[in-house]
Amino acid sequence: MLSLSGILQKSIITSANFIFYRMEKLKQCWSGLLVLAVVVIGTGAVPITYLQSAVAKGAVCLDGSAPAYHFDKGFGSGVNNWIVHMEGGGWCTDVASCNARKNTMKGSSKFMNKDFGFSGILGGKQNTNPDFYNWNRIKVRYCDGSSFTGNVEAVNPANKLFFRGARVWRAVIDDLMAKGMKNAQNAILSGCSAGALAAILHCDTFRAILPPTARVKCVSDAGYFIHGKDISGGSYIQTYYSKVVALHGSAKTLPVSCTSKMKPELCFFPQNVVPSMRTPLFVINAAFDSWQIKNVLAPTAVDKRKEWKNCKLDLKKCTAAQLKTVQGFRDQMMRALSPVHSTPSRGLFLDSCHAHCQGGSAASWSGAKGPQVANSKISQAVGNWFYGRNAFQKIDCPSPICNPTCPAISTDE
């Protein structure tokens, strides 16, 4: 039998062990919270903003939900500078494909991720994005399937699809103007892929909305879709775009300077819009754009025997004859880009990579292993051009394997 002192000693030891155990648990808990905080802060995640006020104006996603964007506020010398970057994600050409989109983040804000990590041209770190890191940086989410050009008033009760991309774009811009963009000193309208096409199509309107004293320019990253011939000798992409324009009622929102001269679907091709643009434009593109090789040169609908199935995904798997055709696609790209490199105020970074969207990640935007043309990284070329430090219109070597700085296939969006 334990003495009174023994009982007390055992009780004290037990209590001490219990306290130590609780303290260890508490320390683990705080440690976990600290790690979580570091992870969240380290990713630069920017919360989503739902533009509920736009719904009453009919400016909605395909499913009727509110449009959305992510906004990281500027600071210091960048407090009155703005970059509005539009997300990419293809198009929908008929009711079936739009119906499929409306149940995803590409057609409904209900399915969009609540936070988005900013990097590349939207990055908030000076060492990776020295010219724009402290600007007001906005990523506009893409949920209309028309490169922000749709404007159909009627809604078919059978499918309940809203084709209102142009209204979405204007509602977002108006909201940003009210939040301070009306005082902009410098501004860029940019985008990736379908969003980059939108940056070209809306560029002059963006310039007209902003203060006349502001320096305003546009940047298209992988949005220079060419009116090219496919492997059958036809132009599948023209037929594709004609369906987009017809379904979304885009004709009345495309640049009048283009639609007054040709069919509206032809005004989805930048080569037909750029000649009459008044606002300076910088084009970032791959001569062997991976999306265009797959969908402009060798679309599945045309490649009936699937002879291009492997080649269009990996140019190393192309036959000699296919590589010659791919090289011919680059020639088409060069001709389509003539309105860009024939005008001194415009910029061009055309590398020979097999890639699509190269400005969205820090690695390809400014990284040590990112693509270079004329010994310049994309971030340097765009920054120097925007601020007028140096003009930049550079075209890479002609072969898809000639530039050792080209990374593996890159698709940011």
Q: Are 146 and 197 in contact (CB under 8 A)?
A: no
83 with 214: CB under 8 angstroms? no
Say if strands 281-286 and 215-221 run parallel, antiparallel, or are unpaired: parallel
For residue 166, which of 123, 129, 205 has the smallest C-alpha distance? 205
**What is the CA 325 to chain-centroid distance, rounded?**
28
H helical segments located in 275-361? 290-292, 320-336, 338-341
Q: Supply the pLDDT for residue 272.
A: 98
CA 302 – CA 299 distance, rounded (Å): 6
Task: Say what the pLDDT of residue 388 is.
Answer: 98
What pLDDT, on a 0 to 100 scale, did the predictor assign at position 67? 98
Catalytic residue chosen out of the listed positions 175, 289, 303, 351: 289
DSSP 8-state assignment for residue 262 = S
Contact (Cβ atoms closer than 8 angstroms) between residue 78 and residue 134: yes
State the pLDDT at residue 159.
96
- Residue 45, sorted as left (phi over 0), alpha (psi -120 to 50) or beta, turns out to be beta
What is the C-alpha separation between 253 and 202, in angstroms, rounded?
Answer: 9
Sheet arrangement for strand 393-395: 115-117, 45-50, 68-72, 136-140, 81-86, 186-192, 215-221, 281-286, 347-351, 393-395
Contact (Cβ atoms closer than 8 angstroms) between residue 118 and residue 59: no
Q: Closest Cα partner for 102 from 175, 194, 167, 164?
A: 164
Spot the catalytic one: 356, 361, 366, 396.
Answer: 356
Nearest to 88 by CA among 176, 2, 195, 1: 195
Tell me the DSSP string of 132-197. Answer: TTTSEEEEE---SSSSS--------TTT-----HHHHHHHHHHHHHHTTGGG-SEEEEEEETHHHH
How far is the C-alpha of 397 from the C-alpha of 271, rounded, in Å?
22
Give me the count of residues in the chain: 413
CA 385 – CA 396 distance, rounded (Å): 18
Burial class (CB in 10 A: 0-12, 13-18, 19+), 239: middle
User: Environment class of residue 129 by beta-carbon count within 10 Å: exposed (0-12), middle (13-18) or buried (19+)?
Assistant: buried
To the query of whether residue 175 is one of the catalytic residues in this protein, the response is no
Please give the chain's pLDDT, 413 residues, in tens. 444 344 334 443 344 443 333 444 433 443 333 333 333 333 469 999 999 999 999 999 999 999 999 999 999 999 999 999 999 999 999 999 999 999 999 999 999 999 999 999 999 999 999 999 999 999 999 999 999 999 999 999 999 999 999 999 999 999 999 999 999 999 999 999 999 999 999 999 999 999 999 999 999 999 999 999 999 999 999 999 999 999 999 999 999 999 999 999 999 999 999 999 999 999 999 999 999 999 999 999 999 999 999 999 999 999 999 999 999 999 999 999 999 999 999 999 999 999 999 999 999 999 999 999 999 999 999 999 999 999 999 999 999 999 999 986 544 45
Known catalytic residue: 354? no
3 state DSSP class of 271: helix
Given a contact cutoff of 8 angstroms between Cβ atoms, the answer to whether 120 and 359 are in contact is yes
d(CA 127, CA 190): 21
- How confident is the model at residue 345, as a pLDDT? 96
Residue 256: count of CB within 10 angstroms of its CB: 11
Q: Between vectors from CA 193 to CA 192 and to CA 199, what angle results, nearest 5°?
A: 65
Task: Kindly name the residue from 119, 146, 193, 364 that is annotated as catalytic.
Answer: 193
Q: What is the distance between the alpha carbons of residues 97 and 145, in angstroms, rounded to a whole number?
A: 9
What pLDDT shows up at residue 8? 38
Q: What is the pTM of this model?
A: 0.89
Between CA 408 and CA 287 the distance in angstroms is: 15
Residue 39 CA to residue 166 CA, distance in Å, equals: 37
Instruction: Mark whether 289 is an active-site residue.
Output: yes
CA 311 – CA 326 distance, rounded (Å): 10
CA pair distance 372, 349, nearest whole angstrom: 9
